[in-house]
Amino acid sequence: MENGKKTLYLECESGISGDMAAAALLDLGADETVLRKALQSLPVGGYEVHISRVKKSGLDMCDFDVLLEHENHDHDMEYLHGHEHAHEHVHGHHDHGSEAHHHGHGHEHSHPHEHRGMAEIREILEQAELTPGARKLALRIFEILAEAEAKAHGVPKDQVHFHEVGAVDSIVDITAAAVCLDNLNIGEVILPVLKEGTGTIRCQHGILPVPVPAVANIVNTYGLPLHITGIHGELVTPTGAAIAAAVRTCGTLPDHFTVERIGMGAGKRDYEAPGFLRAMLIRAESENQDQIMKLETNVDDCSGENLGYTLNRLMEAGARDAHFIPVYMKKNRPGYQLNVICTPEDAPELERIIFEETSTIGIRKMLMKRTVMDREIRTVQTPFGEAKIKICRYQGIEKRFPEYESVNALCRKSGKNYQEVYRMVEEAGRKDSGSSDSM
């Protein structure tokens, strides 16, 4: 990863929410002092951040809690899941995040929630002392939420006035997640799947199905992989889904990787699931592995000239390698097997050329893993002029090869034979550190 950027794997087996994300990232090593300084610079009040260690399912993990001056129902499980006579009020974190409040709707409860739209959110983030990266990410998360809520309510994005999303606790959650990700210097985020529950949940506008509309819209718009479990409850909050959509860069884990550090972030609701988010800093075991495509077909009625021309076209179009193998086909017909090595991205165009230039009516293709040596082109000085050599390295192994075109050019320039010039360039490559050119 360039510039020391790290790879983060988010394991959302119990879903994801804003407070779970912030807690997991803190446990992963994000600087709490940096976070608290950033949060203190937010021009909002009415809250206090409490960071502590808790145990869930017998496991020690970090808890990120936004304590509010007013009460809310976020952790009142009877209220959340539709029991009309539930009366237990909880003073604490409110990361439900479900459903914005837009023009024309009144308050369902008498709690003193302050409504904020995107203009107010932008102003808050601009005034806060955040790094450019953290500010950009926080704003991106809010934009994703605004789009989802606007779609759910059928109103323009600039008319969405957030209730839960724009409330103090959600502002703090989103800002905390953005600051922690920026502080950890995360470059790639792997998130294979979001596990979600079933049933219904109570929010600002009444009883809604799980996943709630905002989560469903985010999943749909950003192609997040969702797996519905049999757990009754909301595992993925809109804030959590928006964070996932904003940071996810990859959905597939490498086949082999090393876990460098683990962070565990506690959730607040008690469901059948353990209720925590696990975040891991990982490193692929080999950065020299990639994928290559092999195209293969048999032809028995093409001339040598036709096949030679086809080979040239394939190489010019981006094939990494191409060759023919003499084969005996059905009914003992002599023919050739064409093999083409290329990147998966180039395969469609190369397939088109094969169909266009040969008589084949079918192409076999295989996606293959390969291990490659790191390569560097270096310029060296010889008695006959400059030449280029290729240096290949892998786990302590180093190989040096004179580049064919350079040897060929010096042969023509000097009148010397190929073997003599090759040895001269090879010797220069061993002695001269030269200057490197990118491949």
Q: What is the pLDDT of residues 153-198, one digit of tens each?
A: 888 777 676 554 457 888 999 999 999 999 999 999 999 999 999 9
pLDDT of residue 115: 66
pLDDT of residue 358: 94
Whether the pLDDT of residue 5 is over 70: the answer is: yes
pLDDT of residue 100: 41
Whether the pLDDT of residue 88 is over 50: the answer is: no
Task: Return mean pLDDT, the chain.
Answer: 84
pLDDT of residue 286: 59
pLDDT of residue 11: 96
pLDDT of residue 132: 96
Two tokens, residue 326? 């003499």
pLDDT of residue 222: 93
Residue carrying the six token digits 């869930």: 56
Q: Which residues, at least 6 apart from 13, have a Cβ–Cβ distance to it below 8 Å?
A: 195, 273, 278
pLDDT of residue 153: 81
On whether the CB atoms of residues 88 and 195 are closer than 8 A, the answer is no
The rounded percent of the chain whose pLDDT value lies above 70 is 84
* Residue 312 bridge partners (DSSP): none
In tens, the pLDDT along 109-153 reads 334 445 678 888 999 999 999 999 999 999 999 999 999 988 888
Q: Which of these, 235, 185, 254, 266, lies nearest to 9 by C-alpha position? A: 254
Q: Which of these, 373, 431, 379, lies nearest to 399 by C-alpha position? A: 373
**What is the CATH number assigned to the segment(s) 289-371?**
3.30.70.1380
Maximum distance among all alpha carbons in the chain? 98
CA distance 168 to 163: 10
Alpha-helical (H) ranges within 154-249 are: 168-183, 213-222, 238-247
pLDDT of residue 287: 58
All structural domains of the chain with their residue ranges: 2-284, 289-371, 374-437
Range of 102-111, 218-227, 428-437 with top mean pLDDT: 218-227
CA distance 296 to 322: 10
Whether the pLDDT of residue 438 is over 60: the answer is: no
pLDDT of residue 108: 33
Q: Which residues, at least 6 apart from 2, have a Cβ–Cβ distance to it below 8 Å?
A: 187
Q: Which residues, at least 6 apart from 299, have a Cβ–Cβ distance to it below 8 Å?
A: 307, 335, 336, 338, 358, 359, 360
